[in-house]
Amino acid sequence: MQKIIIGSDKSGFSLKEAVKAHLLERGVEVEDCGTRSLEAGIPYFEVAPVVAERVQSGEFSRGILICGTGAGMAVVANKYRGVYAVACESVYAAEKCRAINDANVMTMGGWIVAPELGVAMVDKFLDTGFTDNLEEWRREFLKNARVKVANLEETIYK
């Protein structure tokens, strides 16, 4: 069973609730660490670190973060070593962030993405593996690129 951690600020609350309900119907174990109501929002810069740290630790293999545009959550989550967060606005982007970038956190914007689209994006994000549906030459390139990025990370986080 997949274990996913999800969080949102007030702007992403409605989309988060739709995605969370879908994931539970799908049989995914979901932990919600974000805003619990429209009346009591938690800022994006407080939610994103919780998700990022728990993905970073390996407790969760993937995370989903939702704010107004998805950008703020991605900026904060990407401050954590080993966390690769990508803001997505389409099913195609959700697929490619996994296949090409091996992203482990997807961010979305509650002001941009409709619930039905968000659910489809999350399904694609969870169902796509690194280098899935790519040409062999691109798979090899990306596997090597992942090593180069990891090496870059080592120099940055010394």
Residue with tokens 């989550």: 77
Cα–chain center distance at 96: 12
Q: Tell me the residue type at 105.
A: V
33 part of the active site: no
- Hey, what are 81's tokens? 């070593």
Most distant CA atoms of the chain, gap in Å: 51
Distance between CA atoms of residues 20 and 156, nearest Å: 34
Which residues, listed in sequence order, are joined to residue 31 by a DSSP beta bridge? 5
Distance between CA atoms of residues 10 and 58, nearest Å: 27
- Hey, what are 39's tokens? 């009346």
Active-site pick, 33, 67, 88, 97: 67
Q: Is 35 helix (H, G, I), strand (E, B) or coil?
A: coil
Distance between CA atoms of residues 69 and 36, nearest Å: 19
Active site residues: 67
